């Protein structure tokens, strides 16, 4: 009984902290859509690389742009890139996983073969190839990462489908003449939601990190668009002269990922 109570307390701790952090970041992003203290792209040659001050709460960057405004803008970019990446990855992965898990046989082998090949490459490398083919830009990053994220979702959904398709209630559905597509998406898919939800949250975190990583390497979002990864890479030359410039974008990435991880963990324990 005591163990159980303690267990419950850790869950609520994760959830509270997770939702607070995520709430803060979401607030920052949504406020950023309508209002930023300064124009995130407006340069000011006089106020370069300033620390924390009243005029610029988080200081300015090497071109005199307000850091808070740029973090708001950058978080927004990162958030939406991650969101659409997961949307693409999860929806394609879901359909492929459902088909290969349910149908099995040759189709399953082909899909899983392609999957394994894609798994063999690091996803960043895969995205890099895709960028080389598609060019750079926000939409291209979404497409590249989205495709790179498909295999993991395919695997998860496939495993769940294989587990559930042999349950009695699915046999029963077959028995009353339900067509295969309806069985897949109406009878089986809702039963995958627990696993799928955790996978989506973890996938979202990975997408945030992947986008930041790509932008850091200069193959992601292009200037003047703000992105957290891009800000990190721009600020590394000023690491010692203006440490706040690298600290805040890094902190934003950490908070975005940490908040969602905590939330995902508490949710997956709950479900």
Partner 1 sequence: MLQVEHLTIDFQDDKTEETLVHDFCLTMNPGEIIGLVGESGSGKTLTALSIAGLLKRSGMKKQGAIYFEDTDLLTCSRTDLRNLQGKEITMVFQEPMTSLNPLKKIGWQVEESLRIHTSLSKQERYQLAIESMKAVELKEAELIYHQYPHQLSGGMRQRIMIAAAMIMNPKLLIADEITTALDVTVQAQIIELLKKLNREKKTAILFISHDLSLVKRLCHRVLVMQQGNVVEENTSLEIFQNPKEEYTRQLIAAIPKFDKKRKELPEC
Interaction site with partner 1 (CB under 8 A)? 167-169, 171-179, 182, 187, 190-191, 193
Nearer to partner 1, 158 or 187 (CB): 187
Distance of closest approach, residue 116 Cβ to partner 1, in angstroms: 25
Distance of closest approach, residue 72 Cβ to partner 1, in angstroms: 39
Token pair belonging to 212: 């930041």
Q: Can you tell me whether residue 138 is helix, strand or coil?
A: helix
Distance of closest approach, residue 165 Cβ to partner 1, in angstroms: 12
Nearer to partner 1, 109 or 193 (CB): 193
Nearer to partner 1, 7 or 169 (CB): 169
DSSP single-letter state for residue 137: S
Token pair belonging to 26: 């979401």
Nearer to partner 1, 164 or 231 (CB): 164
* Cβ atoms of 246 and 229 closer than 8 Å: no
Nearer to partner 1, 200 or 214 (CB): 200
How many C-beta neighbours within 10 Å does residue 2 have?
Answer: 6
Token pair belonging to 123: 């996803």
Token pair belonging to 158: 């496939």
Residues with Cβ within 8 Å of residue 49, at least 6 apart in sequence = 59, 60, 61, 62, 238, 241, 242, 245
Distance of closest approach, residue 56 Cβ to partner 1, in angstroms: 52
Q: Can you tell me whether residue 66 is helix, strand or coil?
A: strand
Distance of closest approach, residue 108 Cβ to partner 1, in angstroms: 15
Burial class (CB in 10 A: 0-12, 13-18, 19+), 27: exposed
Longest dimension (CA), the chain: 76
> Angle at Cα 138 formed by Cα 132 and Cα 141, nearest 5°?
45
Nearer to partner 1, 254 or 271 (CB): 271
Distance of closest approach, residue 38 Cβ to partner 1, in angstroms: 49
Q: Which residue has the tokens 């803060």?
A: 24
Distance of closest approach, residue 188 Cβ to partner 1, in angstroms: 9
DSSP single-letter state for residue 186: I
Nearer to partner 1, 191 or 268 (CB): 191
Token pair belonging to 237: 């030359």
Distance of closest approach, residue 98 Cβ to partner 1, in angstroms: 16
Distances (CA, A) of 34 to 39, 53, 56, 196: 11, 23, 19, 32
Nearer to partner 1, 15 or 174 (CB): 174
* Cβ atoms of 58 and 74 closer than 8 Å: no
């Amino acid at each position: 009984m005591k163990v159980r109570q303690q267990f419950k307390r850790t869950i609520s701790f994760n959830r509270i902290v997770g939702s607070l952090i995520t709430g803060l970041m979401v607030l920052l992003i949504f406020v950023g859509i309508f209002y930023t203290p300064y124009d995130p792209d407006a340069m000011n040659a006089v106020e370069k690389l300033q620390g924390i001050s009243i005029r610029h709460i988080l200081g300015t960057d090497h071109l005199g742009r307000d850091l808070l405004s740029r973090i708001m803008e950058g978080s927004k970019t990162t958030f939406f890139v991650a969101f659409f990446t997961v949307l693409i990855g999860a929806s394609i992965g879901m359909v492929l996983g459902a088909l290969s898990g349910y149908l099995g046989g040759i189709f399953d082998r082909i899909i899983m073969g392609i999957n394994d090949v894609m798994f063999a490459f690091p996803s960043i490398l895969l995205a890099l190839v895709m960028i080389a083919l598609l060019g750079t830009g926000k939409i291209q990053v979404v497409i590249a990462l989205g495709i790179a994220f498909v295999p993991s979702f395919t695997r998860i959904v496939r495993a769940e489908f294989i587990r559930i398709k042999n349950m009695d209630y699915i046999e029963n559905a077959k028995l009353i003449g339900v067509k295969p597509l309806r069985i897949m998406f109406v009878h089986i898919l809702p039963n995958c939601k627990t696993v799928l939800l955790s996978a989506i949250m973890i996938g979202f975190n990975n997408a945030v990190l992947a986008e930041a990583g790509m932008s850091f390497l200069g193959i992601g979002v292009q200037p003047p668009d703000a992105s957290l990864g891009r800000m990190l890479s721009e600020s590394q030359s000023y690491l010692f002269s203006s440490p706040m410039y690298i600290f805040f974008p890094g902190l934003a990435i950490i908070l975005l990922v940490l908040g969602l991880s905590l939330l995902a963990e508490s949710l997956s324990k709950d479900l």
